[in-house]
Amino acid sequence: MSEPPADPPSGAKTAAEPSDTSVGSTGTDPTTVDGGHRAAGEPSADGTNADADTDAGGADADPGVIPDPSPEGSDESLGEIDLDLDEVVLDDEGGDPDEASRGLFDDLLSGEPIFENKEVLRPSYTPHRLPHREEQINNMATILVTALRGDTPSNILIYGKTGTGKTASAKFVSEELESTSRKYEVPCEVEYINCEVTDTQYRVLAQLANKFIEKNEEVVADRLDELGDLAERIGSGSGADGPVADTEFADREALEERIAELEVDQESFEPVPMTGWPTDRVYSAFFDAVDYHERVVVIMLDEIDKLVEKSGDDTLYNLSRMNSELENSRISIMGISNDLKFTDFLDPRVKSSLGEEEIVFPPYDATQLRDILQQRADVAFKPDSLTEDVIPLCAAFAAQEHGDARRALDLLRTAGELAERDRTEMVNEGHVRQAQEKIELDRVVEVVRTLPTQSKLVLYATTLLEKNGVHNINTGEVFNIYKRLCQEIDADVLTQRRVTDLISELDMLGIVNAVVVSKGRYGRTKEISLSVPIEETEAVLLSDSRIGEVEDTQPLVQTRFDN
Ligand SMILES: Nc1ncnc2c1ncn2[C@@H]1O[C@H](COP(=O)(O)OP(=O)(O)OP(=O)(O)O)[C@@H](O)[C@H]1O
């Protein structure tokens, strides 16, 4: 690609991405400071004492020991000052305020790092080689090569579960396409949009319009430079056999006219604001910007299902019928989706136009994941820092999941970070298992944190029952506690039927386990149990400001058999 995409790549999923389980962030993970640094009183790597550090820092930072400038400053107070200063001088760690914090990072830095280049394990890194995706990459290239011949490539839909290399492969192919187009000077551009972030028709069109306007501005500026130079070179001569003879211009006037035209164009380029215009106007700004000069444009819509889910198929409809109206340029759409069924919701015309070509990315098996991990590990880690079983175990865990390379890479990176925290020189099987637990817990925390309030209340009711030793919890019991929780915090009370649905949703998310059991002549009921660690779940629920309002839960649970 000639320019990095303005959107973060889907792999990056940016800061909010649940799968980024970095354990190195001391800011959010209090255990890093304790676990990674040292316990109070324990000697540090440089032989100093954690307590001494703190005391010295405290005395030093304490404004109380600064001499009192008041005129009544007595001998007594001077004596006190002397004493304090003496203490400070005696403690050679405390003299310089910069020295007060010594230790925290020194300690962490003192160990031999295990990583050579951790970045290559991050989702934002696009590898230059993608093992086990040769077939899909070749298929994409075969379709897109048309663009290099100046024709419109078929639209492509790429399907596959998360972490199967769809985005990485599509980006790889588009980079190749753009670099080849530069080599042969065929105008061809790829624009990447992450529809999870840019999820409305307005925003997609505005973002595309602005990208093309920016490119047009560059093209016009370059052209003006060229023509300006030409004008200077030919001086004031004119006429067909004058100095303009071997240029595209008949005479100097024609050249000047062209320069004036380009200057008008330059003035007319107006970026689209991210809100506020009518959609028609945004569409026509986009249309004009794309059609400004001849080119083939491939629009890559990553997570296209999110766009359809959020704002229907209007955008796709408009994009897919543009070619019949464009005069200079042609566009082709490359949609990427995790959801195999999203086309069911599309208008049949959009569906058939978008799915001209379909490419499926199957999940990786454990052996393929091993190859992918090995290739990254060779660059990411120092030589010999992984025990033999680390990569196979990461691969096996991720293959069990659903053949997700992102998960495998996360596991390997987290295992490495845990090993670094342990100050060991090698990453071993134990670190991988710990990493697996940590990632799983992070996932649970993220899922629970983002539940709607009503589901949180249902889940909180279940945790309260379980915490109070209730076994084989049934829907009625959950409902009773739920109702009381709602009353406590003034929330709407849903019907028991709806609460049963919410329990089923929690079951699908893997947060509770709800099994239907037959109670003979009393009919059937659901028995519910938590499938996630109770303490952490409760903590996340209580961090919700509304649920945090419930003060004393004990009486709520005691009255569970009321009603
Ligand atoms: N064949 C491969 N070789 C090397 N790395 C790979 C391969 N497949 C996937 N990866 C890596 O796995 C991670 C996830 O890949 P990618 O983002 O392409 O998946 P995706 O299918 O687009 O997932 P999602 O649908 O969740 O966006 C990235 O870090 C990517 O570099």
Which residue intervals of the chain bear CATH 3.40.50.300?
134-361
Residue 356 has pLDDT above 50, yes or no: yes
pLDDT at 352: 87
Contact 107, 39 (CB under 8 A): no
Per-residue pLDDT tens for 197-215? 998 999 999 999 999 999 9
Structural element, H or E, at residue 305: helix 304-311
Of 339-348, 400-409, 430-439, the poorest mean pLDDT is in 339-348
Contact 496, 470 (CB under 8 A): no
Per-residue pLDDT tens for 230-239? 888 776 655 4
Q: From ligand 1's centre to the CA of 392, what distance in Å?
A: 18
Looking at ligand 1, which residue's alpha carbon is closest to its atom 10? 165
Q: Is the CB of 123 under 6 A from ligand 1?
A: yes
Residue 396 has pLDDT above 90, yes or no: yes
Looking at ligand 1, which residue's alpha carbon is closest to its atom 15? 165
Q: From ligand 1's centre to the CA of 105, what distance in Å?
A: 33
Contact 541, 557 (CB under 8 A): no
User: What is 366-446's CATH number, 3.90.1150.10, 3.40.50.720, 1.10.8.60, 1.20.1440.230?
Assistant: 1.10.8.60
pLDDT at 156: 95
pLDDT at 242: 57
Q: Is the CB of 133 under 6 A from ligand 1?
A: yes
Q: Is the CB of 195 under 6 A from ligand 1?
A: no
Higher pLDDT, 461 or 56: 461
Q: Is the CB of 130 under 6 A from ligand 1?
A: yes
Q: From ligand 1's centre to the CA of 32, what distance in Å?
A: 29
Q: From ligand 1's centre to the CA of 411, what distance in Å?
A: 14
Looking at ligand 1, which residue's alpha carbon is closest to its atom 7? 165
Residue 467 has what DSSP assignment? H
Q: From ligand 1's centre to the CA of 7, what distance in Å?
A: 17
% of the chain at pLDDT higher than 90: 49
pLDDT at 448: 93
Residue 18 has pLDDT above 90, yes or no: no
Cα(309)–Cα(312) distance, integer angstroms: 6
Q: Is the CB of 11 under 6 A from ligand 1?
A: yes
Q: What is the largest distance, in Å, between two alpha-carbon atoms of the chain?
A: 106
Band of residue 541 on the pLDDT scale cut at 50, 70, 90: very high
Q: What is the 3-state secondary structure (H, E, C) of 166-189?
A: HHHHHHHHHHHHHHHHHHCCCCEE
Residue with tokens 């996932």: 443
Q: From ligand 1's centre to the CA of 405, what distance in Å?
A: 6
Q: Is the CB of 8 under 6 A from ligand 1?
A: no
Band of residue 97 on the pLDDT scale cut at 50, 70, 90: low
Q: Is the CB of 164 under 6 A from ligand 1?
A: yes
User: Average pLDDT of 317-343?
Assistant: 91
Q: Is the CB of 405 under 6 A from ligand 1?
A: yes
Higher pLDDT, 92 or 486: 486
- Write phi, then psi, for 507 (nearest 5 degrees): -65, -45
Long-range CB pairs of 479-483, under 8 A, 24+ apart, other chains included: 480/559, 480/560, 480/561, 480/562, 480/563, 481/556, 481/557, 481/560, 482/457, 482/458, 483/563
Residue 47 has pLDDT above 70, yes or no: no
Cα(99)–Cα(461) distance, integer angstroms: 50
Ligand 1, from 121, 126, 134, 167: best to mutate by most atoms within 8 Å of Cβ?
167
Q: Is the CB of 484 under 6 A from ligand 1?
A: no
pTM value? Answer: 0.69
Residue 293 has pLDDT above 50, yes or no: yes
Looking at ligand 1, which residue's alpha carbon is closest to its atom 4? 130
For the CA of 126, the closest atom of ligand 1 is 31
User: Average pLDDT of 264-286?
Assistant: 91
pLDDT at 87: 43
Q: Is the CB of 163 under 6 A from ligand 1?
A: yes
CATH class, domain 134-361, is alpha beta
127, burial (CB in 10 Å: exposed 0-12, middle 13-18, buried 19+): middle
pLDDT at 551: 66
Nearest to 117 by CA among 370, 373, 378: 378
For the CA of 375, the closest atom of ligand 1 is 4
Beta bridge partners of 299: 191, 333
Residue 131 has pLDDT above 80, yes or no: yes
Q: Is the CB of 411 under 6 A from ligand 1?
A: no
Contact 190, 1 (CB under 8 A): yes
Residue 45 has pLDDT above 50, yes or no: no
DSSP E strands, 450-497:
473-474
Contact 2, 419 (CB under 8 A): no
Higher pLDDT, 553 or 313: 313
pLDDT at 340: 79
Ligand 1, from 164, 175, 195, 360: best to mutate by most atoms within 8 Å of Cβ?
164
Q: How confident is the prediction for the chain on average, in pLDDT?
A: 79
Residue 193 has what DSSP assignment? E
Cα(252)–Cα(235) distance, integer angstroms: 9
Looking at ligand 1, which residue's alpha carbon is closest to its atom 9? 165
Nearest to 21 by CA among 395, 417, 377, 364: 417
Residue 258 has pLDDT above 50, yes or no: yes
CB atoms within 10 A of CB 147: 25
Which residue intervals of the chain bear CATH 1.10.10.10?
451-558
Which residue intervals of the chain bear CATH 1.10.8.60?
366-446
pLDDT at 292: 92
Provide the token pair at 525.
């009921």
pLDDT at 74: 38
Q: Is the CB of 304 under 6 A from ligand 1?
A: no
Looking at ligand 1, which residue's alpha carbon is closest to its atom 3? 130
pLDDT at 101: 59
Cα(484)–Cα(482) distance, integer angstroms: 5
Q: Is the CB of 166 under 6 A from ligand 1?
A: yes
Band of residue 273 on the pLDDT scale cut at 50, 70, 90: very high
CB atoms within 10 A of CB 221: 12
What CATH number has the domain spanning 451-558? Answer: 1.10.10.10
Q: Is the CB of 10 under 6 A from ligand 1?
A: yes
Per-residue pLDDT tens for 137-161? 999 999 999 999 888 999 999 999 9
Of 19-33, 135-149, 414-428, 453-467, the poorest mean pLDDT is in 19-33
Band of residue 462 on the pLDDT scale cut at 50, 70, 90: very high
Provide the token pair at 178.
């753009």
Rounded-to-5 percentages of helix, strand, coil across the chain: 55, 10, 35
pLDDT at 94: 47
Long-range CB pairs of 136-143, under 8 A, 24+ apart, other chains included: 136/165, 136/169, 136/359, 136/360, 136/361, 137/169, 137/172, 137/173, 139/357, 139/359, 140/169, 140/170, 140/173, 140/334, 140/359, 141/173, 141/176, 141/177, 143/357
Q: 9: which residues sit within 8 A by CB, 6+ positions away?
A: 123, 124, 126, 167, 171, 192, 194, 302
pLDDT at 81: 38
Q: Is the CB of 9 under 6 A from ligand 1?
A: no
Q: Could you tell me which residues are annotated as the binding site?
A: 164-168, 364, 376
Nearest to 430 by CA among 418, 444, 445, 442: 418
- Write phi, then psi, for 167 (nearest 5 degrees): -65, -45
Band of residue 555 on the pLDDT scale cut at 50, 70, 90: low
Q: 182: which residues sit within 8 A by CB, 6+ positions away?
A: 2
User: Average pLDDT of 241-269?
Assistant: 81
Q: Is the CB of 153 under 6 A from ligand 1?
A: no
Q: From ligand 1's centre to the CA of 20, what distance in Å?
A: 14
Contact 463, 435 (CB under 8 A): no
